[in-house]
Amino acid sequence: MTEIHEINFDGLVGPTHNFAGLSFGNIASHAHSKQTSHPKKAALQGLEKMATLMRMGLKQGVFPPHERPHIPSLRKLGFQGTASDIIKTAAADHKQLLTNMSSASSMWVANAGTTSASSDTSDGKTHFTAANLSSMLHRSIEHEHTSKMLRTIFASDQFFAHHDALPGTQFFGDEGAANHTRFCNSKGTQGLSCFVYGQSYMQGGTKPAKYPARQTLEASEAIARQHGLTAHNTLFLQQNPDVIDQGVFHNDVIAVGSRNIMFCHEQAFLNQKAALTALKQEREKTTGEAFHIIEVPTAAVSVQDAVSTYLFNTQLVFPQGKKATIIAPQECHDNPAVKDYLESLIANSEAIEDVKFFDLRQSMNNGGGPACLRFRAALSNAEIESIGISTNTLMTEKLYDQLTAWVSKHYRDELTPDDLLDPALYQESMTALDELTSILKVGSHFYDFQK
């Protein structure tokens, strides 16, 4: 069977990167609400992470930002006139609504959708479903363009199958791959899809009391059916409702896994001992290879420290011929308890041999760490080559140079909350994105620019 490789597509931070505090349940987002943001710095920090992973020999891609403010959504809500007229009217009478339509949250492409590898699906194609993100207004407007983006980049009908987002109701709340992990063998050819949900609307049961459970069991089951997965290569686990109420809005804030490793906090899952026993048994049965479960005790790292540093919103990557490396935010290094734990882990782990820290403070201050910024896909060489034929979204040194020059040319150094009310920002952003379509070769009709 053809070898399958994990490739990370990072979201390119958009020109309207701002701190609006729109995400209820995301503590970092609320803590920095209404502060001045730095879009240029944010985008360059993200690009530096992409380039570093590429230079480590890992396969890396880039997803373009969405257009913001999103004028088509404002038109649907009854605003009329030119784009400038609509922004001025919304700024005067519905400031909070305009702020929602200006969010650059599409940078966090871990929520863009869910993908299943061709070696796992019934039809032998790699499947994609855009996430409806129905729990938050500012993110619920993303899925239509996300579907268009996925179809543009993963364009080959021979290799790829695409599905529209699930119905945008509370029963099918879907936050994408932030709640999905594929564990596989060393060749990537035999995979177990582990879906993590916050609650079940139809079955009832335990749920958080303070913050919303954004991923439902019903959504996860529907995606597994869409993608042609079976009971033999899927597992559904429930997130611990108590940690959701402590700011763990997605599973990837309290657990991260890849290939042969589950790295999680001891409070990550409901009935955790049974959940991890089932995961170990299913993964080893699927692949026939050893599996490493690393549980971080509360005594070593509290849930509060895990959330504030995003210890688990990290990436586990596998450079050629090496054990896993953790890609972590600088905050993990700066927190004494987390730093001490990581040093001990690296010194003693059989599965993880290194940790690299990145300055991603602009993303972190808005509520997203390294794992939030990336969308993982498990692809064969032929599938990866097809992406390079249809677009220029696979990271190279040349593309990195082009994108850093583009950001430096078009992005503002600072953005205040009041800047979002200025129609000039929309025009600047559209000019920038129009140029980006040529760099990434996604087509001149990729964006729906409004006059």
Task: Identify the pLDDT of residue 313.
Answer: 97
Task: Identify the pLDDT of residue 124.
Answer: 97
Task: Identify the pLDDT of residue 33.
Answer: 67
Q: Which of 184, 194, 264, 372 is catalytic?
A: 372
Task: Identify the pLDDT of residue 19.
Answer: 85
Task: Identify the pLDDT of residue 143.
Answer: 98
d(CA 315, CA 326): 6
Residues whose CB falls within 8 Å of the CB of residue 93, separated by 6 or more in sequence, listed in order: none
3-class DSSP assignment, residue 83? helix
Active site residue 250: yes
Query: What are the φ/ψ torsions at residue 293 (nearest 5 degrees)?
Result: -110, 120
Q: Which of 175, 221, 266, 331 is catalytic?
A: 175
Of the candidates 383, 398, 239, the one whose C-alpha atom is nearest the C-alpha of residue 312 is 239
Task: Identify the pLDDT of residue 1.
Answer: 61
Q: What's the residue count for the chain?
A: 451
Q: Which of 32, 145, 227, 250 is catalytic?
A: 250
d(CA 439, CA 47): 15
Active site residue 175: yes
Angle at which helices 423-440 and 83-93 pack, to 10 degrees?
130
Angle at 251 between CA 155 and CA 207, to 5 degrees: 120
Task: Identify the pLDDT of residue 366.
Answer: 86
d(CA 302, CA 296): 9
pTM for this one?
0.96
Burial class (CB in 10 A: 0-12, 13-18, 19+), 313: buried
- The gap from C-alpha 110 to its chain's centroid, in whole angstroms, comes to 1
Q: What share of the chain is helix, strand, coil (3-state, %, to 5)?
A: 40, 20, 40
Task: Identify the pLDDT of residue 286.
Answer: 83
Task: Identify the pLDDT of residue 413.
Answer: 98
Task: Identify the pLDDT of residue 78.
Answer: 97
- Under-70 pLDDT residues of the chain: 1, 21, 23-33
Residues whose CB falls within 8 Å of the CB of residue 391, separated by 6 or more in sequence, listed in order: 152, 153, 155, 440, 441, 442
Active site residue 30: no
